Structure 1
Amino acid sequence: MRFEGRTALVTGGGTGIGAAVARRLSADGATVAVLGRRREPLEAVAAATGGIAIAADAADTGAVRAALADIRARAGPVDILIANAGGHGMGPTVSMDDRTWAESARANLDTAFVCARECLPDLIERGGTIVIVSSIAGLAAAPEAAGYVTMKHACIGLGKSLARDYGRKGVRTNIVCPGWVTSEMADEEMATLVGQAGAALGVTSVEEAYALVTKHVPIGRPATPEEVANVICFLASAEAAMVNGAVLTVDGGASIVDLPTIAFAD
């Protein structure tokens, strides 16, 4: 019960990593508010965790302020922010229109920035913590994902800036960079891979696509949402009291692979 008496806000909390984080925080005693765009999955998570479901845009200042007012009225000030919302921004630069670029900035970077800014008064008062969910796409460039790659890199910069500016005010900020995770969003990407190149690659199912994209990952498989949630919740806990500004990969070792030597492994 390491989060007993604590209140947490998890953005993108209806599915995948966000939902897993909400379940783990709740199991460890926290009151959890899950915020996202789709009400139905949020309400399912809230019902399972005894938490609060808020359907809102995490990049909209007015909506976040209203959400925080609701959370404070029902559960008290926010102690923990998990900035997990993200997505969008796929495609190469030459064909990416302004709308796609702006959607990527809003979904990945603006959500983290707005929620951090609006939660900071509570977090400073309570000695709270922030965990920003970036991606290993924030450490290296995935192909034809200019918006997503750029914004996930920027999320790391935001996290470091928050850690630098607010560490002495008692607020720790850390960044988690997952690799492939079995989730609704990744399932859609695997289905796209099967549809676009499945025949050429000999891949006919989502499961085979996951196996292909993790072929050179040292652990040899994607993570589960729960495995990523365990790391996030560790960083949010008092057990990580001296961890501030860290960038922690949860990728099975994918980011340590030396690409020029992959041919020798095949």
Structure 2
Amino acid sequence: MKQGLYLPNVGHYADPRRLAEYAVAAEASGWDGLFLWDHLLLETPNSLPACDTWTALAAILTRTRTLVAGPLVTPLARRRPAKVARETTTLDELSEGRLVLGVGLGADARGEFGAFGESTDARGRAERLDEGLDVIRALWTGEEQSHHGPHHRLDRVRFLPAPRRPIPIWTGATGTTPRPLARAARHDGVVPMVRQPSGALRGPTPAELADTVRAMPPLHRTEGFQIAVPGTLSPNHPDEAAERLDEYRTHGATWWLESFDPWRRDPADLRRWITQGPPIS
């Protein structure tokens, strides 16, 4: 099982130089990846500063040599897929093939769509997400492409250079909801989450992960499919953390994403994890 850090792009983490320094230190201590939230803003009782995820990723990938990195997740429905195709190809070249593209539906719980006049309709966002992925994958081929869909259009477009290898796409999925799991199975990985009664998301327990894996279409059993599980372990109890990760691995997890948020977790935990390295050596 590979192990990564999953950081916000807001609050303490809104400084791209700080994120790059964390990435350099994490790589040196044995972590395999570092992934970032992709928010324009997070409205709270006290608004938090934010940085642009994609610019920060350029800094992270420039400063590291082995670390895998990417947005988890970018709400593709609010993006122009041609722009994302160009950005991802450039980051793939910059990193020599270490980019992961994480995509998801996004949520308007704090007004991040509605505040900018964008649609808050989940079904419509899902349609644009699926069509956007089709457009991106077509442009990544480096071949001439035409596409006339309900939301996007290409007229004999060819994007060069093509990525040096297929860029992995991991998609967010909540619980055992069929459509997000089917989307994930058509691509390269899934980031399973559980929605709480408050509407907030958290990583699954091992039993909940087992339910998610059982509910996935068999397409996901292709070689190289990744199941990246976010969650929180204590750096003060590394042996217990390693035992917990063994439970997740038993149920199919291929990545553990040690997760941080800007409200409930002290950045000192991140610094301790970076200092001592990932739970599984």
TM-score by length of 1: 0.36
Structure with greater helix share of residues: 1
TM-score by length of 2: 0.34
